[in-house]
Structure 1
Amino acid sequence: MNKVLHISASPRGPRSESLAIAATFLDTLREVSPGTPVEEYDLWDGTLPAFGPDAAAAKMAVFAGEEPEGASAVAWRAAIDTFRRFDSSDRYLFSVPMWNAGVPYILKQFIDVVSQPGLIFGFDPVAGYRGLLTGKRAAVIYTSAVYGPERGPAFGADFQAPYLEDWLRWAGVDDVHSIHFRPNLATADPDTGRRRAHAEARDAAKLFLQDGARA
């Protein structure tokens, strides 16, 4: 049975647009597949380990074919535990608000923690990187309050979706469905775009667990 992991990068709780759309997605998924296990991973809950000097030293030691020692070994075990929580699911739902044209720093921290040699990627000096998270699927909910693709550069740029989706595909997750809700703060009525995003979330959730289907 597929397991779904919802990774939330928003700290805004009930005021979060991305979490509201994610709730619609997960409610629909539970309706079509009541027995599917769903795990919630709030990246702001304080359990995500840091990726600092000790963890960086451990990563380079592993790259060199060595075993991390001391504080580096402790940091490496924390990274492995976080990766195992991530890898234990077959389907991923990300809720990702835009921060300063990119992703919230807590999501970047998560990516840095789990993106380790032998876990998410393999590396060959000639062939380069090889993603190891094959056979998985992801849906990503993107929100932004000012940026929109139809607006000019004065309204910002999108380093949010390209960054996250490039990372997913680099890691081996090549089945990715994106849902966007990008109202302008100056727009008097964002409800049309909101309804469209929630409808798309419902439609994507209905296909999310089907083998061979693109969500």
Structure 2
Amino acid sequence: MSTILYVKASPRGPRSHSIAVADVFLEALQEKIPEAIVKTRNLFEMDLPAFDGPVLQAKYNVLHGLTHDPAQLKAWQDVAAYVDELKSCAGLVMAVPMWNFSIPYRLKQYIDLIVQPGVSFEADGSGARGLIPDKPVFIAYASGGQYPPGTGAQALDFQKPYLETILNYVGLKDIRSVRVEATLAGEETVTERRARAFEQALAMAAAFFATRG
């Protein structure tokens, strides 16, 4: 049975454009695959562990080949559970708004938890290799402005480039995405942009698992 991990990185609930698009995508996907289970992780409602103290020391222990004391081991196991959840799902769906040209701090915290040596990636003198098995990823982005390729505004977009680079780093390369832009524009523009994003999301849902049978 397929499990889809749904990571919500917006605290705006029904007012969120990224969540609205991701929800449309998931509804279409579940119509196509009724047996699929959606496991939702709302990052603004979760008690994500702080990446400090025992967790940070445990990471350095891994990097230097040292063992953990009981507190560090427990902290490391808690972190590894987030990675295991990501490894075991059949697909990943994310709703990600742009905050200050980048991603919300809660999503950055989640990323700092899952990007761990020996758990989600390994590195040696020849480079790094992701340890999370590749799987289809759909990301619904939203941004108040527009950042078209080839324009000066593109240089301000640290949302999509960063997120997809870090997902690639841990092994997730099969990524497709939709962005609702200009969400701070007038109602007519926003409505038109959302409708276009919905259409794109529906088309992507139809082919989400196509390349993997």
TM-score (norm. length: structure 1)? 0.91
CA contact under 8 A between 1:137 and 1:175: conserved in structure 2? Answer: yes
Distance 2:134 2:157 in 1: 28
SS of 2:210's partner is coil
* Contact 2:148-2:154 within 8 A present in 1 as well: no
Q: Amino acid of the residue matched to residue 18 of structure 1?
A: S
What is the Cα deviation at residue 138 of structure 1? 0.7
In structure 1, what is the Cα distance between the partners aligned to 2:177 and 2:154? 21
**Which residue of structure 1 aligns with residue 84 of structure 2?**
84
TM-score where L is the length of structure 2: 0.91
| Residue type at the aligned position of 2:140 | I
Pairing 1:152-167 to 2, within 5 Å after superposition: 157-167=156-166
* Residue type of the alignment partner of 2:157: D
Trace 1:1-215 onto structure 2 (pairs within 5 A): 1-124=1-124, 126-149=125-148, 157-183=156-182, 185-190=184-189, 191-212=191-212
Distance 2:180 2:73 in 1: 42
Please say if residues 58 and 68 of structure 2, whose CA atoms lie closer than 8 Å, have aligned partners that are also in contact: yes
What is the CA distance between 1:188 and its match in structure 2?
Answer: 4.9
Hey, what's the Cα distance between the residues in 2 that align with 1:34 and 1:20? 20
Structure 2 unaligned blocks of 5 or more: none
Supply the distance in 1 between the matched residues of 2:62 and 2:157 (Cα, whole angstroms).
34
Change (3 A) 1:15 1:76: same
Runs of 4+ more than 6 Å apart = none
RMSD of the TM alignment (CA)? 2.0
CA contact (8 A) 1:147 1:157 kept: no
* Distance change (3 Å), C-alpha of 1:143 and 1:77: same
Taking the aligned partners of 1:107 and 1:202, their CA distance within structure 2 comes to: 25
Q: Distance in 2 between matches of 1:143 and 1:184?
A: 7
CA contact (8 A) 1:147 1:184 kept: no
State how far apart, in whole Å, the 2-side matches of 1:148 and 1:19 are: 20
Q: Aligned partners of 1:185, 1:31: CA distance in 2, in Å?
A: 32
Distance in structure 1 (CA, Å) of the matches to 2:34 and 2:148 = 36
Cα distance in 2 between the residues matched to 1:155 and 1:83: 31
The one-letter code sitting in structure 1 at the alignment partner of 2:27 is: D
For 2:153 and 2:207, locate their aligned partners in 1 and report how far apart those are by CA, in whole Å: 37
**Offset of residue 184 of structure 1:** 5.0
| Larger proportion of helix | 2
Q: Which amino acid aligns with 1:159?
A: F
What amino acid is aligned across from residue 4 of structure 1 in structure 2?
I
Quick one: distance in 1 between partners of 2:210 and 2:183?
Answer: 35
Aligned pairs, how many? 212
